[in-house]
Structure formats: C-alpha cells, structure tokens
Amino acid sequence: MTADHDPAKRSAADAPRAPRAFVPTDDEARQTARPETAPPRRPTVVSGAVALTEAEDDPFLREALELPPAAPRRRRRLTPGKILLSALGLLLSLAIGLWVDQLVRSLFDRLPWLGWTALGLAAIALIAFMLLLWREIRGLMRLARVAELRAEVDSAEVDGGGPVTAAEARRLSHQVSTFLGNRAQTARGRAALKALDGEIVDGPQLLAFAERELLATLDREARKLIVNAARRVSLVTAISPRASLDMLYVAWEALRLVRAMAILYGGRPGTFGLLRLFRDVIAHLAVTGTVAAGDSILQQAIGTGVAAKLSARLGEGVINGLMTARIGISAMDLCRPMPFKALRRPRVSEFFTDLSAFAAKNSGTKSAP
C-alpha cells in the first residue's frame, strides 16, 4: 500500500501498473465497525499525528441544544376553565331533564297516549346518548392504550437496565398482537407470531420480529394512504381558484388522513378522540419538525425550485402535498402501537419524488389542451 502511494517509486518504475483494490483510509465503516470477535488490541502510545476530536463532535462537550427535544408532557389538571365548563354542563343537563319532565307531564295531562309516546322517545334518546358516550369513551381509551403500549415498547428497549428480557418482550408483543386483533390485515403476522411463541429467546429480537410481522402490511397501507392524500392535495391546490379554498381542503384532507390512519392501526376514535389525536399530531409535528428540519427544508427548497420550473401553482401544490405527507407521517408515529425500530419510518423525501413526478405528469396533461 505504501509503496504504491510513493510517487518517487512509481515514476522510477515506468511499467504499466497492475490493477488492484484498496480500502480507503477515510472509510467510516472501517473506523467504527470492528467485529466483536476480533482479538483485543494492545495498549499503545501513539506518537505522531493524532486527530483530536473537535469539541463539536465530542459527545460530552457538545452543547445540549442538540439533545433530542423532550416529547411534550401532557399534564392533566383541573383548571378554572374546566371547572366552569363541567359546572355549566351539569346545569344544562339538569335543565334538559326538567324540561323533558315538564313536557311529559303536560302531555300526560292532555292525552295519555301522547305522554307515553313522549316518554318512549325520551328513553330512546337517552339510550342513543349513552351509546354515543360509550363509543367516545372507548375511542379515547383506545387512543390512550396505543400511546401507553408504544411508550412501554420504547422504554423496554432503551432502558438503562440492558436489553429487554424475553419474558417482557413476549408480554409486550402479545399485547400488541391482541390490540391489533380487529385488523384483518394482521392475521398472517399474528399467526406467525403465535407459531413462533417461545422459540425466540432474545428479547430485542422478539420485539423486532413482532414489529416486522404485525406492522409491515399496515405500514405499506399507511404509505398508500399518505401518497393518495398528498396527491389529492397537490392536485386540488394546483387547480383551485382561491387560496382560502386550498387551505380548507388541506385541513379537511389532513383530518381525514389522521382518521384513516387511526382506524388502520386499530384505534377507533370517535369525534372527541379524533380531535384530540389531531391536536397531538400537530404538536408532534412541531417537535419532530425541528429535528428533521435539515432533511425536509432542503427538500422543500428543492421542491420549490423544481416545481417553480413547472409552474407556480404546481409548486404550491407540491409544497402542500409535502405538508400533508408530513402530517401523515406524524399521525403514523402516534397511531402505531410500536415505535419505529425494525422497520423504517417513511421519509418526506420519498413522497417528494412521487409528488413531483405526479405534478410533472399533470402539468403535461394540463398544458396539452
């Protein structure tokens, strides 16, 4: 290796040089990845050139600004506003009760059969209300359950106590599999997990296996959902006559996407559940947005550059489509019962290629007539 790098030697031997392969010295992989089984290296003093690790690269000197931002902790507490609302709500229900009671009484006074009808209608309304309430509560509880499962799986892997134990991993994967029990797409994964029950003795591997088996199909569908929503948004933005209309459409499409995502991953949010989930998705977007800034801002800049060449409207369409894709990915993060570990989280850039190709094709068809 040294002989061939020496220019003096090379010029001395003017014969044609034989082909051969080198490992580049700056190869990142060679520096860091050292096989576990390699024999221990001997302690030495290194004299001569030494590359001191810069303060920015030193893990203990780096400014904490680069620390991953903590997920916003949701604190549930009693605020005066909530007390006011619940008190007013109680008053309102008392008022409704009183009104129904008076109505039924006065109807009984006039004609007994009218009174009976009103009573029956009131009972039906009560039952329907109960059903609605039950669905909402169940939806909210399911959302909480997803978050709890994801947090548990996440902490099981990172915790300081070493890798997750097999028993713990089995319990978690079993819970995830039960949670996804109502999704037909996971049937094969659930069967595979069950068939291998107890055969994988390594905790982290079991969790990775469960993630691949249970969530790979769902992730694929989620991707499809995101792509379709992003395409629709970009198309509508490109052809809509007014900016306020696009914004409405984008918001509606985002809401629809979040709902579809929740249903896809086994959550069944009701109206309130969906609102809460949507709020969380936006909050999550704000947090992860700063982390992924390097990746996506660049992409968006390129997006505007490329798309501007197509047309200004189409450029806007691509941008709005990308935003929808980011909302979709954020919703994916929050609806998935396991964090992304074994499988890769889709990146905004993947949708960018798809969207710009789509926009280019559309501009072709649009400019033709």
Partner 1 sequence: MPPSITSLSDEARIALGTLGERAGGIFNAPSLRLGVTGLSRAGKTIFITSLVHNLIHGGRLPMFEAAWEGRLSKAYLQPQPDDAVPRFQYEDHIARLVTDRLWPASTRAISELRLVLEFESASGWGRLFSGGKLNLDIVDYPGEWLLDLPLLSQDYRSFSERAVALARSPARSDLSGAWLAQAGEIAAHADASEEKARALAGAFTSYLAACKADSRALSTLPPGRFLMPGDLEGSPALTFAPLPDLPDGRAPSGSFQAMMERRFESYKTAVVKPFFRDHIARLDRQIVLIDAMQAMNAGRDAVIDLERALGEVLECFRPGRANPITRLFAHRIDKVLVAATKADHLHHESHDRLEALVRRLVERAAQRIGASGAGFEVMAMAAVRATREARGESDGETLPLIVGTPLAGETITGQTFDGATKTAIFPGDLPTDPDSFFQQLESSSQASIPPINIVRFRPPRIETDDQGVKLSLPHIRLDRALQYLLGDRLE
Which residues of the shown chain bind partner 1 in the complex (CB under 8 A)? Answer: 1, 25, 30-32, 36, 40-53, 58-61, 63-64, 67, 75, 160-162
Specify burial of residue 68 (Cβ count, 10 A radius: 0-12, 13-18, 19+).
Answer: exposed
Q: How many Cα atoms are found within 13 Å in the side-chain-facing hemisphere of 213?
A: 22
The CB-of-135 to partner 1 minimum distance in angstroms stands at: 34
The CB-of-86 to partner 1 minimum distance in angstroms stands at: 20
Question: Residue for token digits 């003093």?
Answer: 45
Tell me how far CA of residue 343 lies from CA of 56, 103, 207, in angstroms. 30, 60, 11
Task: Return the number of the residue (49 or 368) whose C-beta is nearest partner 1.
Answer: 49
The CB-of-148 to partner 1 minimum distance in angstroms stands at: 21
Q: CA–CA separation, 254 vs 229, rounded Å?
A: 8
Q: CA–CA separation, 106 vs 342, rounded Å?
A: 67
Q: CA–CA separation, 261 vs 63, rounded Å?
A: 37
| Cβ atoms 307, 359 nearer than 8 A | yes
Task: Return the number of the residue (11 or 47) whose C-beta is nearest partner 1.
Answer: 47
The CB-of-67 to partner 1 minimum distance in angstroms stands at: 6
The CB-of-8 to partner 1 minimum distance in angstroms stands at: 21
State the DSSP code for 42: P
Task: Return the number of the residue (160 or 241) whose C-beta is nearest partner 1.
Answer: 160
Q: CA–CA separation, 292 vs 346, rounded Å?
A: 12
The CB-of-45 to partner 1 minimum distance in angstroms stands at: 6
Q: Six-digit token pair at 244?
A: 């306020």
Task: Return the number of the residue (78 or 368) whose C-beta is nearest partner 1.
Answer: 78
Q: CA–CA separation, 353 vs 314, rounded Å?
A: 14
The CB-of-79 to partner 1 minimum distance in angstroms stands at: 11
Task: Return the number of the residue (162 or 241) whose C-beta is nearest partner 1.
Answer: 162
Task: Return the number of the residue (27 or 197) whose C-beta is nearest partner 1.
Answer: 27
The CB-of-129 to partner 1 minimum distance in angstroms stands at: 35
In SS3 terms, 193-258 reads as: HHHCCCCCCCHHHHHHHHHHHHHHHHHHHHHHHHHHHHHHHHHHHHHCCCHHHHHHHHHHHHHHHH
Task: Return the number of the residue (8 or 64) whose C-beta is nearest partner 1.
Answer: 64
Task: Return the number of the residue (58 or 101) whose C-beta is nearest partner 1.
Answer: 58
Q: CA–CA separation, 154 vs 148, rounded Å?
A: 10
Q: Which of 242, 211, 151, 223 is nearest to 342 (CA)?
A: 211
